[in-house]
Homo-oligomer: A and B are copies of this chain.
Amino acid sequence: MSQRNTGVTREEFVEEACPIVEVLDHVAGKWAIGIIVAAARGPVRFTELERTVNGISRRMLTLTLRKLERDGLLHRTVYPTVPPKVEYSLTDIARELHESLSSLVDWAERHRGTIAAARRSYDGAAAS
């Protein structure tokens, strides 16, 4: 568990992880995960997302959608009907991402209680 057991320095190790943070930031936006989770079940329409993703505003939905589309995580299909119909679906790499996300989601579910307790304990100690 000590950093002295390997030939790679902590700096190199983190350096390696940094561009990832950049990529991850796109996914880590407040709404991106919700949208990916919602779209993971099948093509989904704009209004459907607006109702599904908790408290998102139309503006944020549009922005996040564009960001995910730009990064190649969402595929956008426009049906030239009237009124217009647009469906969003996950690309292959987004589907992969969704699987990786599951691991994180599991962790969050497993420790949600522990984390809440830690917070109460921390806040309680501060109030003493």
The binding surface of chain A is classed by DSSP as helix
Q: Tell me the bound Cα distance from A128 to B52 in angstroms.
A: 34
A71 touches B115 (CB 8 A): yes
Among residues of B, the one whose C-beta sits closest to the C-beta of A93 is: B111
Known: A100-B106, A122-B70. A112 touches B19 (CB 8 A): yes
Chain B residues with CB below 8 A from A42, complex form: 1-4, 10
Rounded to whole Å, the gap between the CB of A89 and the closest CB of chain B is 9
A104 touches B107 (CB 8 A): no
B17 touches A70 (CB 8 A): no
Chain B residues with CB below 8 A from A2, complex form: 41-42
A41 touches B13 (CB 8 A): yes
A103 touches B100 (CB 8 A): yes
Known: A41-B10, A41-B13. A105 touches B34 (CB 8 A): no
Which of B52, B114, B122 is A93 in contact with, Cβ under 8 Å? B114
Known: A41-B2, A103-B103. A24 touches B72 (CB 8 A): no
Among residues of B, the one whose C-beta sits closest to the C-beta of A125 is: B70
Docked complex: A47-85 residues within 8 A CB-CB of B:
48, 51-54, 69-72
